[in-house]
Amino acid sequence: MRKAVCPGSFDPVTNGHIDIVSRASQLFDEVVVAIGVNKAKASARLFSAEERMEMLEKACADFPNVTVAGFDGLLTTFCEQHGIRAIVKGLRAVSDFDYELQMAQMNHGLTGVETLFVPTSPTYSFLSSTLVKEVASLGGDVSHLLPAVVHGRLVERIAERQG
């Protein structure tokens, strides 16, 4: 059984994430989408871990070999606990590469887990959860960039925060 993890903050999940999960699901028997903590982004979080998990479960419902999980500690510990030897990450542009390479090398050094980079579809190469939140909070239309269920939740949350 070939198993991989697609880790991320997913605050919230975008169509760019779903593109990577979908492609990973065609390469591996089982894919776990794992919601982790990125300390650098923790203070700007819009959705709780439970909310992100619920949105991801709905957004990934059409992929029979994809499950969703959360984790608190190291990604490498999560991989060891779940018998996962491959991490799949999307690369949008060269600007992603430095940090992703650093994490891949650190993770490999910790437990030997491999990281596979999948080039993001050009349709989504500009897309990030951070930008989506900024544009939506200023009234821009981001409905084409998110799963429908996520767009609805984002609009509601921004209205609550601004209300």
Binding interface with ligand PNS (CB under 6 A):
7-9, 36-38, 41, 74-75, 103, 106-107
Catalytic residue among 52, 89, 92, 151: 92
Active-site residue flag, 82: no
Q: Which residues of 73-111 are buried (b: 16+ CB within 10 A; e: fewer)?
A: eebbebbeeeebebbbbbbbeeebeeebeeebeebeeee
Active-site residue flag, 129: yes
Active-site residue flag, 23: no
Active-site residue flag, 3: no
- Write the Ramachandran bin of 85: left for phi over 0, alpha for psi from -120 to 50, otherwise beta: alpha
Smallest distance from the beta carbon of 145 to ligand PNS, in angstroms? 16
Residue 21 identity (one-letter amino acid) = V
Compare residues 120 and 159 and give the one whose CB is closer to ligand PNS.
120
Distance CA 121, CA 118 (A): 9
Smallest distance from the beta carbon of 163 to ligand PNS, in angstroms? 27
Compare residues 150 and 162 and give the one whose CB is closer to ligand PNS.
150
